[in-house]
Amino acid sequence: MSSDVTGSGRGRPEPIRAVPVRHPGRWVAVVVLAVLAAMFVHMVVTNKAFQWPMLFDNILSVPVVRGAVTSIELTILAMIIGIALGVVLAVMRLSPNPILAAAAWMYIWFFRGVPRLVLCVLFGNLGILYSRLEFGLPFDHQLGALFGIDLNARLFGVNAVTLLSGFTAGLLALAMSEGAYMAEVVRGGIQSVDPGQAEAAQALGMRRPLLLRRIVLPQALRVIVPPTGNETIAMLKDTSLVAYVPVTNELFFQLQHIGARTYAIFPMLVAACIWYLAMTSVLMIGQHFLEKRFSRGHGPRAIRLRGARSAGAGGAVGTEVDT
């Protein structure tokens, strides 16, 4: 405001050229870190146990690349099922119907409480419990025996071992666990939307399914998308857990297998680190742009225009409190 020759008419003074504050601590830190980094590089290069040629020979071999593809497939499928399940569970949990709300609560309680690794092994061994999976009336044999008839009310059945072969079991374990986490993310998103929005929609004669789909969920997306990115990155890493189902064509299983066969255990673990880091890095870049896109048009504009205080920024404030 006062930079130009105006008002006082005294002209603009010389710009300030002050001596900056010195930061000796930073230089000490740089030296210490440089020494540590050099030590690390020295170890990596000179320690023969790393067996770098072994790593380079195998990291792009066909089974390993196939394993990476399997991991990506698992991530995508598990997230799709998990998100769909999460939306349904979140809507159930916020439903006025107490039975639906309680059922959703039970589901979330179970699948958030049991570790994913345990779930993976559990689903891989469900074949022990059932030789066949059948759908029909419950207790049909017992009820039949009660009335002295041979009642069989099974509608259809499949061989459990086929259904719960590695990939499906691993996918189910990851997807159902993800559903519980996504339910909480979606619930947070729905609750971050100003209740006045639902009221206005109701006052216009909209019913709950319509107002959720057209008014509340689109506004909740802004809050739901960033944590969903985190969930996807976490899911990609957690696909390594299905090695214990076991899913034999999965990345981590393949690398461990090669390591065990060739006695090059450590190089293959390093290869696993490199693979997962590469894949999660790609996802992190994607998430960065996704977040940028979804924060667009809300924050700055709402602050700039005072009229927006209630409608736009009201929701944004609630958002930050809720997450």
Interface positions with another protein (CB under 8 A): 194, 196-197, 199-208, 210, 214-215, 218-219, 297-298, 301-302, 305-315
C-beta closer to another protein: residue 20 or 205: 205
Q: What tokens appear for 280 in the block? A: 């999660």
Contacts of 315 (CB under 8 A, 6+ apart): 192, 193, 194, 197, 219
- Shortest CB 171 distance to another protein, Å: 34
- Shortest CB 196 distance to another protein, Å: 4
C-beta closer to another protein: residue 116 or 298: 298
- Shortest CB 98 distance to another protein, Å: 16
- Shortest CB 220 distance to another protein, Å: 10
- Shortest CB 206 distance to another protein, Å: 6
C-beta closer to another protein: residue 86 or 315: 315
- Shortest CB 64 distance to another protein, Å: 44
C-beta closer to another protein: residue 271 or 313: 313
- Shortest CB 182 distance to another protein, Å: 21
Q: What angle do CA 309, 221, 227 make, to 5 degrees?
A: 110
- Shortest CB 102 distance to another protein, Å: 21
C-beta closer to another protein: residue 112 or 214: 214
C-beta closer to another protein: residue 154 or 293: 293
Contact criterion met (CB below 8 Å) for 143 and 70: no
Q: What angle do CA 159, 165, 166 make, to 5 degrees?
A: 165
